[in-house]
Structure 1
Amino acid sequence: MAALFGVFCGFILIIVLFTLRLFFVVRKGSGYRPGKKGSVSVLVVAGSGGHTTEILRLMGSLSESYCPRHYVIADTDKMSEDKIRTLEASKKQQDQGNFTIHRVPRSREVRQSWSSSVFTTMNALLYSVPLLFNLQPDVLLCNGPGTCVPLCLAGLLLGILGAKKILIVYVESICRVERLSLSGKILYHLSDYFFVQWPSLKDKYPKSIYLGRVV
């Protein structure tokens, strides 16, 4: 019974995601470009392990105009904060200090059941909404950790309410050659820009953008 309830809640969550995206597409301004008048505030979702390594490689290639930089990691992640601080310490002295690190509950643990992940994702969403309203970044950048789904949903909510248009940029992990990750399957329909790193994925998902390996 609990499993059926979890599947039902998951179905409802998917409907909510697509509905939010529909409203967002109707409301957004076609000429919106962050950074027209200067720097671009970016919120980066760092997962654990390979996800963090890939997203930090991407961040290392961006110019200093991307600031301030807000990193979000799961509250059970023990290693990503050190990697983030190491990257930021390597930047030019005048650019150091233009970053913050925030923690939110993990939306789904490895091998966690589908039914229980619905509730943990909703819990993560409750933390993500006030965080996004407070930071109001121009761009939300992510590459697949489950934590990014509630954060992207919160970003869409800001646009729907007219508080802030946030561009959602998703970069699928390099290890995804034939199939998208679960986060990718969801955010393929919600993101403004969806990058894949293998031509086989571009063939399957025409909305995606293929530029070769980017991380």
Structure 2
Amino acid sequence: MQMGVDALPAACYALPVLVSLLTIRFFYVLWRNGQPSSRPRAAGLRCLIVLGSGGHTAEMMNIVTTLQKDRFTPRYYVAALTDNMSLQKAQVYEESLIESGGNKTVENAHFVQIYRSREVGQSYITSIATTLLATLHAMWLVIRIRPQVIFCNGPGTCFPLCVSAFLLKALGLGWSCIFYIESIARVKKLSLSGLLLYKLRIADQFSVQWPQLQQKYPRACYAGRLM
């Protein structure tokens, strides 16, 4: 009984210290985001590529074709559970690399599905539960893969993945560089995913494809037209 009483004051002292350390770590990660890495470049970087549906996937696959395949490997393509087309396009692309003589491409490409936060037309009330489920699934996925680089361009699927990766950084359990490229369809304002990542400063590099968007959101980089 005495041990339990003695442990209570110790816990009361330890809790503020823990909260202070986590707060310091959180602001360090915010400050560190977007700055050049001081670590030597790795031969292969685990790469998480988030695919949306339709135009989002077309844009992202266009970006993927410009990547140095031997540098960004292995590649994990992630799409929503209800998206039946995006991963097929990624598989076709990876198979084309094999046919053109890509080295170990089969081993370097993985295809994963994740719960969607909110379906098109779904009410905001019911989306609370689905968003929570998607976030838990995203956290498990990020912990399992431990991506070093994340590429995304606006689908709702990317937000819980990016938040999960940021939380791991804040907790000191991993470090992912998040590259967000806003869809070319967003001319005057950001998508909801883009706005949240911009306001919360989660993305290490935030790029837009229209100069007026860069003027409106000065921390964004103008990447030009990628399509």
1:209 aligns with 2:221: yes
TM-score scaled by structure 2?
Answer: 0.80
Q: Pairwise mapping of residues 94-173 of structure 1 onto structure 2 (< 5 A)? A: 94-97=103-106, 98-173=108-183
- Distance of aligned partners of 1:182 and 1:145 in 2 relative to their CA distance in 1, 3 Å threshold: same
1:66 aligns with 2:77: no
How far off its partner does 1:197 sit? 0.1
- Distance of aligned partners of 1:21 and 1:165 in 2 relative to their CA distance in 1, 3 Å threshold: same
Q: Tell me, which stretches of 5 or more residues in structure 2 are unaligned? A: 1-24
Residues 104 and 127 in structure 1, CA contact (< 8 A), matched pair in contact too: yes
Structure 1 partner of 2:22: none
- Distance of aligned partners of 1:158 and 1:124 in 2 relative to their CA distance in 1, 3 Å threshold: same
How far off its partner does 1:119 sit? 2.2
1:46 aligns with 2:51: yes
SS in 1 for 2:84: coil
Amino acid in structure 1 at the alignment position of 2:76: H
Of all paired residues, the percent bearing the same amino acid is: 41
Structure 2 partner of 1:86: 92
Q: Tell me, which stretches of 5 or more residues in structure 1 are unaligned? A: 1-19
Residues 21 and 156 in structure 1, CA contact (< 8 A), matched pair in contact too: no
Amino acid in structure 2 at the alignment position of 1:193: Q
TM-score scaled by structure 1?
Answer: 0.84
Residues 34 and 205 in structure 2, CA contact (< 8 A), matched pair in contact too: no
Q: What CA deviation, in whole Å up to 9, does each residue of 1:62-121 have, x standing for no partner?
A: 111110000111111111121011111121431421111111111111122223223211
Q: Which has the larger radius of gyration?
A: 2
List, as ranges, runs of 4+ consecutive aligned residues in structure 1 with deviation greater than 4 Å: 20-23, 26-31
- Distance of aligned partners of 1:190 and 1:27 in 2 relative to their CA distance in 1, 3 Å threshold: closer
Amino acid in structure 1 at the alignment position of 2:90: I
- Distance of aligned partners of 1:33 and 1:110 in 2 relative to their CA distance in 1, 3 Å threshold: farther
SS in 2 for 1:110: coil
2:193 to 183, 203, 211: 183
